[in-house]
Chains A and B, each alone.
Chain A
């Protein structure tokens, strides 16, 4: 039975009139790689800073293990932070940067030397002791920031967009690296990011946040495959949403009738009882068939929709289609180029096609339509 490492109980944070974090409760298990994902201003960084002790809570309680740490200053909390821009001490050598926490805790010099060496080895920067932060590249500084925090063996490591300043290639590399290190040291990581791919790559669980609240919390595949809100569906990848009515359900599937009479099937579990719903499907789940193939598809028990190709863009690994269905709505389709190559082999514009997908890949979300004000993922500096 895993014990919770961090528990937030109805935590609220206000800056003046602005509610940054709104009545948020959360449990992070021991050893978990937990991400908070969301756009700028969703409250993720503020939540992290409250756990770290850099912001006071307006209401609510924060526990580390069993201890209430709500009113403790950062230096009395058994957590360490990797800051967004690393916040390495520019006046200190790498050695002293990494040793900083141990020195404050009066660890003997010999022990410090040993541990610093171990840590630098862990982050694969041995021999960098005498350098200064400004002599290191961004990725190297990132590793040092990690080493500086990890050397203290905190109960929880907080990471605030730690890869935000790195270029794409390095970021990918560091994602793998971070996950490796986390597995190696077995410390609980709470990771804040606005990059859904990053969160999905590394996390055991992700909390998607919006307007100071958790929109949906779960393992990455749950969030992706079965988003429960428009926002989550839109924030994690692209999705096609089609309005309809629940026409009936059995143990496995629910039938949803579209305005034009087409019936689609979706897993029963995803229908929560509201009569009007939206049916969702990810673009890569759709197959595009020229209408001549139609006989075979219906028989296979797949969901089908007919439409016309409006646009086809060949992008190498896949071809993206924009398909207009009977209702006039446009759906996005990613077709893997497994057996085709080159634009010439794609379905031409104007071709009538049938889209098919497996009912299991269908998700259903509540009736509230997406509002235009909902933010899309973007770089964020601070919550």
Chain B
């Protein structure tokens, strides 16, 4: 074996890749194929599903659940913009002004991860309950209407997703900003760029890898999220595509439709990611 390897030195890098490739094959490619196979079957759980290569299922679910697809993309987009708006200044401050508190601040950012996603979201429910600590106080003080509520509204769902995914944005953003040599910013101001221009022309373009990673890490799970819509929304007009998949899969046991919806969501996200990458890469080149 050792002798053989010595003779075929060029193969060694591929051998190192092997575990990863196998992993992807078993846990990504095969399930994807299985999903595609399930999506194009017809039948019910009781009578069994038969492979009929029913590709008509894709336009069918796309049409049937168009509002949910659109709502998910809309929510995810708003969430991503909000996380950028909230997370970028956070990451920027930690990276450039954090000083010796950097690690403490980063710890605070990831602190919410020490509790389970679901528990965190449920705790929001209690904080924002109609008669809860926040709204109850405001209502008693007469600041908001007795009938006012935050939960079970699109705003609650969007806020919840934003909250839950904010660290996913802040961390890569921080890493990207932290890597920027501050002397580049000094160089820009030295070359007659105001602080704003230095930010726009140097800091921002150089932080694009972090912006890209962070916004994708936010957008993709946000588009597929159903927990927030379930716990903080719950009404018909806050149902996202993840809730549809969940209902189709677990309640209705309609596996083909569930698989078809999932596949469409995945392909849509994949196409979106590639397009987004192109836009940002182009961005990086210009001044």
- CB within 8 A of A85: which of B183, B191, B195? B183
Q: Is B287 an interface residue (CB 8 A)?
A: yes
Once the chains bind, are B205 and A91 in contact (CB under 8 Å)? Answer: yes
A96-104, A234-242, A260-268, A336-344 - interface stretch? A96-104
A75 touches B189 (CB 8 A): yes
Q: How far is the CA of A96 from the CA of B201 in the complex (A)?
A: 11
Task: Identify which of residues 166-188 in chain B touch chain A, using a CB-to-CB cut-off of 8 Å.
Answer: 181, 183-184, 186-188
A102-160, CB < 8 A from B: 103-105, 148-149, 152
Interface flags for B189-218 (1: CB within 8 Å of A; 0: not) read 111111101000110011000000000000
Task: Tell me, in angstroms, the Cα distance from A37 to B123 when the chains sit together.
Answer: 62
> Shortest beta-carbon distance, B7 to chain A, in Å?
36
Q: Residues of A within 8 Å of B, CB-based: how many?
A: 27
> Would you call B202 and A152 a contact (CB within 8 A)?
no
Interface string of A188-219 (1 = CB under 8 A from B): 00000000000000000000000000000000
A73–B192 CB distance below 8 A: no
How many residues of chain B have a CB within 8 Å of chain A?
A: 21
CB distance from A198 to the nearest CB of B (A): 21
Known: A101-B192, A104-B192, A152-B192. A87 touches B205 (CB 8 A): no
Instruction: Verify A81–B197 contact, CB threshold 8 A.
Output: no
A74 at the interface (CB under 8 A from B): yes
Residues of the A chain whose Cβ atoms lie less than 8 Å from the Cβ of B188: 89, 100
Cα of A74 to Cα of B192 in the assembled complex, Å: 7
Is there an interface contact between B191 and A83, defined as CB atoms closer than 8 Å?
no
Q: Report which of B186, B191, B206, B285 forms a contact with A90, defined as CB distance below 8 A.
A: B206
Between-chain CB contacts (< 8 Å), 5 pairs: A73-B194, A83-B187, A89-B188, A91-B284, A91-B285
Chain B contacts to A: CB under 8 angstroms: 181, 183-184, 186-195, 197, 201-202, 205-206, 284-285, 287
The 3 closest A-B CB pairs, nearest first, are: A101-B191, A104-B192, A87-B187
Q: Beyond the given A81-B187, A104-B197, could you list 15 further A-B residue pairs with CB under 8 A, ordered by the A residue number?
A: A53-B189, A74-B189, A74-B190, A75-B194, A79-B190, A81-B190, A83-B186, A83-B187, A89-B184, A89-B187, A100-B287, A101-B191, A148-B191, A149-B191, A152-B191
